[in-house]
Every structure is written in C-alpha cells, then in structure tokens.
C-alpha cells in the first residue's frame, strides 16, 4: 500500500478519477442506511421480548417489602431494583436512587438542579457570573448539549487511550473555582471505546477542586456492555465512588447508569449512585418533583434479570449480535484504508461506537459525501462541544442499528468517501 | 340538634366529659387508619390488572406509524397515545405532548424551565428580583411545594363553589408583572371538589396579564373522575385552551393531565396540552432533556383503553368503588355533626377529596387528636401555601384508600375529634 501523502499529483488525479467513478456508482444505488446513533438493532430488542411476559394480571405486584408497586410512593425505588442497579453500578444499594426511563434525564435534572438550587448548600449556579465544565473530547454530543443549553462554558480536554489528559484536568480543576463539573464516559467511552486506566481513575478520585461543588459526572453507560465474553478480552474499570471515598472526596462524584441498552431503550430504568450526603441533597428535590417513578417497570426488570449474573448472560446475547458488526466495520477499514495514511480508528472491546480520525479538515466533507450517497452518520463535529471539532477530523461510527448486510454496504460507502475526501484535500494542498 | 355555640358552659362541660370518654375508648382500640392522601384503593388498582396482559412477547410493539416502541425516539409520544390523552384533555392531538409517569413532574419541569430559560423568549425567572404565583385556597399541597421550592412568592386567592375569586385574580394579574402563574385544579378541585363555572373559565381566558409570560397552570387531574354515572349528576368544565384561543390569548395556558388515577398511579402516562407556540418552546427543552419517554407504556395504555369510551367505562368502575366511600363519610358527617354549627363540608360529585371547615383555630388540633387515636389525615395547613392556614380551619379528607369498613371507623374517630376540639375551643373562650 502506498501512502496517499507519498503519491504524486498525477497519481492522486488518477486515483480521484477512479474514486469519482466508484462514488457515482454508489450514489446510483439509491441507498438509505443509518449509522448515526447508538441504537440497538431489532435483533437486540428481540432478545428482551420475554420481559413483556414477566408481569401479568396474575402476578403479585408487591415488592419484597410488601409495598404495592401499582400505587404511589417509594421515592428511591423498590429495594430489589436498587440492589440490581447497585450490582450493575458496583455500589451498595444504599447509594442508589432509581429514576425513570432515561439516565440522560437524570443528568439534565442534575445540572438543572445545580443551576436553580446549587449543590449541597453552595450558591446556585444561576447566581454565578460564570460556570464551566471540562469536556474530554471527542465525547458524547448529548452531554455537551445539556451544558450548552444551560449556558455553561465548555473547555475541551484531550482524550487518550488512558482517559482524559489528567495533567490538564488536575491543573484546571484545582485553579478555577468556576469549573463545576466534568463529563466522563469512563468505560468504552463514547465515541472512542476507551476505558479509563486505574491511574486515571485514582487521579480523578484525588482531585483537589477549587470549587467545593465540583462534581465528576461519571456516565457509566456501558458498564456491562462488552463485545467479548472472555474476561481477558474485556476492559476493567476501577469503581469511582469507592476510590473517591478512600481519597477523602466521598461527595465528588455522581455516577449514572441505566438499562437502556440492556433491556429496551426508552423503556428501561435509570439510576444515580452517589454518597449519602449527595443523595440526601437530591432527595429534597425529587420529593418536590414527583411522587415516585414507575415501580412496575422496576419490578419487571428485576423479575426478568433476577441478578447481575442474569444481566451478564443477557449481555452476551447482545455481544453476539454486536461483535460481528464491529469486526466487519473494523476489517473493512483495515482492508480498504490500512496503510494509506488517511485515517485512524479505534477497535473497542465494548460500548457502541468506533471513532474515526480522518486527515485534518476532512470530517465534515466525508459525512456530507456519505449522506449524499444515502448513508447517514453522526454529524461531523457532534463529538465536540458546540459542534466544533477544531481539526474537523473526528467521525463517530455507530455500527449497532443496521442489519449486518446493510452495515457492510454502509462501511463500503464510508471508505470510498474517506478516500475521495482525502485525495481532494491532498490535491488542493 | 342544639348548636354548640348556644350551649351553656355547664352543658359544654358535660358534653366534654362524655366526649373525653368516647375519645379514650377510641384510643384504646389502637387503630392504624390512613385518610391522608388521594391514593386509589387496592380494589381500584385491581380493575386495571388486565393492562398487565395487553403487551406480551408475541405482541407487535410498533405504533400505528410503524415506529418500534421498544427503541429510542418519538419525543412527543406515539400518535395513538396523543389521540387518547387528547380525548381525555378535550384537545386536538397536535396540542399534546406525552411525558413520563407523572404530571406533577411535568409541572415541576415547567416551573424549573421558566426559572432557567424563561417562557417563550421572556427573561428567565431566576434573573428577576421577584416572581409570584396566585394560589386559590384551599388547594393542592404539592403545587404549593413546587413554587415554594423555587422561591416563588405565593399569594392566596379565596375559592368559592364557582372557582377562585376572579375579581381578585383579574386585578392582581393585570396590575403586577411579577405574577407569572396561577395554580388551578379546575374540575373537582383539590380539596373542595368544586368545578369552575363557565363564567369563571371565560374570565380566566380573558385575563389581561401585565406579564407576557403569565401562564395559567391548569391541572385537570380529575377531568373524567366522576362519582356518578348519570351526566346530570356530573360537573361540566368549559375547555380552557379553546376559550383562550377565542379570547385572543392562545398561549396563556398549560393544561396538565395524567392517567395516574385512571390506570396505575406511578405507572401511568402524563400529558401536557398547550398552544403550538408553547409546545415548540417546550420541545427545545425536552430535546435536550431526554431521548424520549416510555413508549411501551404509552402503547400499553392505548391497547387497554382503546378510546375515550373505554376510559369512561373504566372510570365507572372506579366510581362504583369510590362513591359508597364518599357517601358514607358525608352521611357520617351529616348524622354526627349536622346542625351543631361546628363544621361545614363539601359534597363533591367527583375527584378524590372532601373539604372540611372546622371552627377557626381547630384544624391542627383535630388532626393531631385523630393522629393520636390512630387516624392519619392530611396535615392541617397543607392545603395552604407555606402550610399556613390563616384561620386554621381547613382539613382535607381523602376517603379513597382505606377499605370502607376502616373508613367508617376513621370517620367516627374524626367526628369525635371535631366535637371534642370544638367544645374545648368554646370552653376556652
């Protein structure tokens, strides 16, 4: 394979002609494929269908403490659901509050509450001149949308395979009291699929923030979402609440999780794990906000999964569907782009995304070309705050939703777009 | 019956002796009864049990537009759920957004959003020196808790059987731009069971608020919650969105509803009805807040109820259980307290509460005495902002939850407490 950067202008022009031809042929196919969002596929949804049967008109709908799950009440969630989500989150049930169907909503509410009421007695953020969040990049667009929506200034922090650049995080957090939070997807990160190293987690737990109301927003969205069954092929993440406690910073973290990509997206249950002091602070808010979340759905989840072992067994079924998709995309990238020097990509062992780095200034073009050829990808820039990727190079590939035969076509379209955009860039230099 | 106020001191003393004896006997029974909250009873929950069977592993879980309800998406709610909740709310589905399990949460979010982001382009309330709400009293304690939590000043407005005193509402709303809202339970009001008259609704729709972001918080919690099946024994409420539109005030109202007391409290679905301009404003927020609410539960509700006729048929079953409880409590009050001049009460044709007015300064004492005798009632004062009933006279009776034989005992305890507290008050004068 010859690197594109080492090609002569003539070679590049000849290549462009060939690629133009390929691209035109693809467009003529009139494809309509979607690699944009981390949505489970129909096959994945089907493996949870038995959940529809675990509660019936003849089921005893009381939880283990005898409370009727059909009626009002039980703010924190039923004990067996707290235990199950506690196991998934690797924390004691006493550190868990069960919410409704969306952990994103819990994160939104957490920021919203901090704006209007402050964190554990500190000044409400809406009364401050400036509030800032650190944003490891590339990251999750919906996180960035929340902080943007509340007018919070976002500061990019570069990611590495070990996690965010902790030198920068430590410096900024310890110096600037306006920094109130950092968005983290610590395991199988969105979009790179990186898992924070033990050292990174320990450095997080030992932060010395200038702001007493600084919190780590630890979105453990993919805690049990491995692609490989063998433990040696899985990433391991140190438990952050425990580490924060050990470091004398018990209140510094909010940990979010949900069953959205375990059972049914949109009909799962979400949970927050935090210190008792944080949870007590939050309870003052929830008590005013609602009379309680959907306990029948909590019961449904517990009856279906039973315990962590049940969850792991279920996740293996997800992995069996997802793994070939990831491997096919990665093989296509390797086969078509390997050695060309026009892109790099991650090969995660879990989660929902592959992150692709194009030549600088090509991401927007690649995504636009793919779209024109009938393949919708996550908008270029989406993985950065304000949608602004400074190098215009990061593209999030979401292989989960399309059936594998469609995904294969989409991957072929994608590599042609990458090649063409790269050639055009090099020709323009 | 001799009025207590016309009794001599000696008569009152003799009566007190007798009542002390009765009260002691009641206490000795060691009762544990709960008339505190508007919770449906077990019998009521049982009538919805078939809802647990309408979705099963063999059900097609797509909504009528073909969207898979198991996956992410469909922010507004599935069309058939918008239609059903639209029918219950008496508005077109296009004016409806379906939410999660709690209309209280929708109201909370509505206030919270107004604090942080303002209403349709107006200044966020958190940037204002003062925000005020009008609170028809007695009213719903959870409404008042929300506005109190956000530091909103609450102003009492007296209720009558026609609704809030509209002379006061019109005057205050037109004069004071700090007044941003009014809490209303317009049908079978909480706690009095009053339904706003046609004139009241029309005067609401024709308000000329000084604040452009003034909104009527129309909590239509009991829209189909009649106690009697015959239409002539039901209250009728004019539809407010329509009236506001006619009056040239299309954006002035948020209308809230839910199925909490139709299907299962805590596992129902909630909805907001408002003008297109309001809904568009709110969608900007929801889009950041969540990827969508629980569509499977929406589908479950539609499959169970089918349409408004199905809802009405179902509500008759609720009424058959609730009606005897209300009638028994009212009969007990009439038999034991009628003509004594020591209390007045409402006799609603729907909803969940009976409102009791004791002699001034007796409510707290009556509730405390009942509690000591093993009967928990809604805390005295709860029906007023800040928990402060200026005359200490209003008590909310919630007859729904206890089985009727327990309710009968509780009612007997209550009347003894009313008598005893009244005698003590008169003796102390």
Chain A interface test: which of B259, B285, B290 (most A C-beta within 10 Å): B290
Q: Is the pLDDT of residue A311 over 90?
A: yes
Look at residue A4 in the predicted model and tell me its pLDDT.
97
Report pLDDT digits (tens) over A241-256: 999 999 999 999 999 9
Count of CB contacts below 8 A, A vs B? 157
- The Cα A147–Cα B199 span in angstroms is 45
**Hey, is the C-beta of A403 within 8 angstroms of any chain B C-beta?**
no
Q: Are residues A346 and A193 in contact, defined by beta-carbon separation less than 8 angstroms?
A: yes
Give me the pLDDT at residue B1, please: 75
Residue A252 tokens, joined: 């510094």
Nearest in space to A177 (alpha carbons), one of A216, A218, A212, A135: A212
Length of chain B: 429
Tens digit of each residue's pLDDT (9 = 90 or more) over B351-398? 999 999 999 999 999 999 999 999 999 999 999 999 999 999 999 999
Q: What is the mean pLDDT of residues A87-98?
A: 98
Spatial CA neighbour of B418 closest among B381, B364, B376: B364
On average, the pLDDT of chain A sits at 97
| Fold match between domain B4-44+313-428 and domain B61-306 | no
Q: Where are the domains of chain B?
A: 4-44+313-428, 61-306
What is the pLDDT at residue A1? Answer: 76
Residues in chain B within 8 Å Cβ distance of A49: 57
- Mean pLDDT over residues A421-428, rounded? 97
**Could you tell me the mean pLDDT of each successive run of 10 residues in chain B, 429 residues long?**
94 97 96 92 98 97 97 95 98 98 97 98 97 98 98 98 98 98 98 98 98 98 97 98 98 98 96 98 96 97 98 98 98 98 98 98 98 96 98 97 96 98 96
Please say if the pLDDT value at position A394 is more than 90.
yes
Closest listed residue to residue B200, CA positions, set B156, B153, B230, B235: B235
Read off the pLDDT of residues A135-145 as tens digits, 9 standing for 90 and up.
Answer: 999 999 999 99
Please give the Cα distance from B344 to B333 (Å, whole number): 9
Q: How confident is the model at residue A406 (pLDDT cuts 50, 70, 90)?
A: very high
Name the residue facing A68 among B42, B68, B124 (closest C-beta).
Answer: B42
DSSP state of A68: B
Nearest residue to A241 via CA among A269, A260, A267, A220 = A220
Looking at residues A21-40, what average pLDDT do you find? 94
Close Cβ partners of B201 (under 8 Å, ≥ 6 residues apart)? B163, B186, B237, B238, B240, B243
Phi/psi-derived region of residue A341, left when phi > 0, alpha when psi is between -120 and 50, beta in every other case: left
Shortest Cα–Cα distance, B101 to chain A (Å): 7
Determine contact: B54 vs chain A, CB below 8 A: no
User: Residue A396's pLDDT is what?
Assistant: 97
| Pick from B48, B101, B145: CB nearest A288 | B145
Sign of CA dihedral A290, A295, A296, A298: positive
Residue of A nearest to B48 (CA): A57
Q: By CA distance, what is A146's nearest residue in B?
A: B288
| CA–CA min distance A7, chain B (Å) | 45
Residues A46, A402 contacting (CB under 8 angstroms) = no
CATH, range A61-306: 3.40.640.10
User: CATH classification of A4-44+313-428 is 3.20.20.140, yes or no?
Assistant: no
Please state, in angstroms and rounded to a whole number, the distance separating the CA atoms of residues B172 and A87: 54
For B51-76, give the DSSP string.
GGTSS-TTS--B-TTS-BTTSS--TT
> Which residues, in sequence order, are bridge partners of residue A243?
none
Q: Cβ contact (<8 Å) for B104 and A149? A: no
Tokens standing for B377?
């009632």
R_g of chain B computed on alpha carbons: 23
Question: Measured between beta carbons, which residues in chain A are less than 8 angstroms from residue B112?
Answer: 112, 116
> Looking at the partner chain, which of A109, A112, A267 has a beta carbon nearest the beta carbon of B294?
A267
pLDDT at B429: 87
The alpha-helical segments, DSSP class H, found in A29-135 are 42-46, 79-89, 103-117
Contacts of A104 in chain B (CB under 8 A): 289-291
Say whether A108 and B288 touch across the interface (CB within 8 A).
yes
């Amino acid at each position: 394979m010859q690197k594109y950067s080492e090609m002569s202008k003539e070679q590049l022009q000849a290549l462009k002609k060939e690629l133009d031809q390929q691209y035109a042929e693809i467009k003529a196919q009139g494809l309509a494929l979607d690699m944009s969002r981390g949505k489970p596929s129909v096959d994945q949804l089907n493996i949870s269908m038995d959940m529809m049967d675990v509660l019936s008109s003849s089921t005893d709908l009381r939880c283990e403490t005898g409370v009727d799950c059909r009626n009002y009440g039980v703010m924190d969630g039923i004990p067996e659901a707290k235990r199950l989500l506690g196991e998934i989150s690797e924390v004691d049930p006493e550190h868990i509050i069960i919410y409704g169907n969306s952990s994103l909503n819990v994160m939104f509410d957490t920021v919203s509450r901090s704006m209007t009421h402050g964190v554990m007695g500190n000044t409400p953020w809406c009364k401050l001149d400036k509030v800032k969040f650190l944003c490891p990049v590339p990251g999750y667009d919906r996180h960035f949308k929340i902080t943007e929506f509340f007018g919070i200034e976002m500061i990019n922090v570069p990611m590495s395979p070990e996690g965010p650049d902790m030198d920068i995080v430590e410096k900024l957090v310890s110096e600037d009291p306006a920094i109130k939070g950092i968005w983290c997807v610590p395991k199988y990160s969105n979009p790179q699929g990186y898992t924070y190293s033990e050292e990174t987690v320990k450095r997080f737990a030992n932060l010395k923030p200038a702001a007493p109301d600084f919190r780590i927003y630890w979105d453990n969205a993919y805690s049990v979402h491995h692609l490989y069954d063998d433990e040696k092929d899985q990433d391991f993440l140190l438990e952050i609440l425990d580490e924060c406690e050990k470091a004398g910073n018990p209140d510094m973290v909010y940990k979010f999780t949900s069953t959205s990509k375990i059972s049914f997206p949109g009909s799962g249950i979400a949970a927050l794990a935090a210190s008792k002091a944080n949870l007590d602070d939050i309870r003052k808010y929830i008590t005013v906000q609602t009379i309680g979340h959907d306990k029948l759905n909590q019961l449904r989840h517990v009856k279906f999964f039973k315990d962590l072992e049940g969850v792991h067994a279920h996740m293996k079924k997800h992995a069996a569907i997802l793994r070939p998709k990831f491997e096919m995309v990665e093989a296509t990238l390797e086969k078509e782009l390997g050695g060309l020097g026009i892109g790099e990509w991650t090969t995660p062992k879990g989660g929902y995304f592959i992150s692709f780095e194009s030549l600088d200034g090509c991401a927007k073009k690649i995504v636009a070309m793919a779209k024109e050829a009938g393949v919708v990808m996550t908008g270029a820039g989406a993985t950065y705050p304000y949608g602004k990727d400074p190098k215009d190079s990061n593209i999030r590939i979401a292989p989960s939703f399309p059936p594998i035969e469609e995904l294969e076509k989409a991957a072929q379209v994608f590599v042609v777009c990458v090649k063409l955009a790269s050639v055009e860039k090099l020709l323009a230099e």
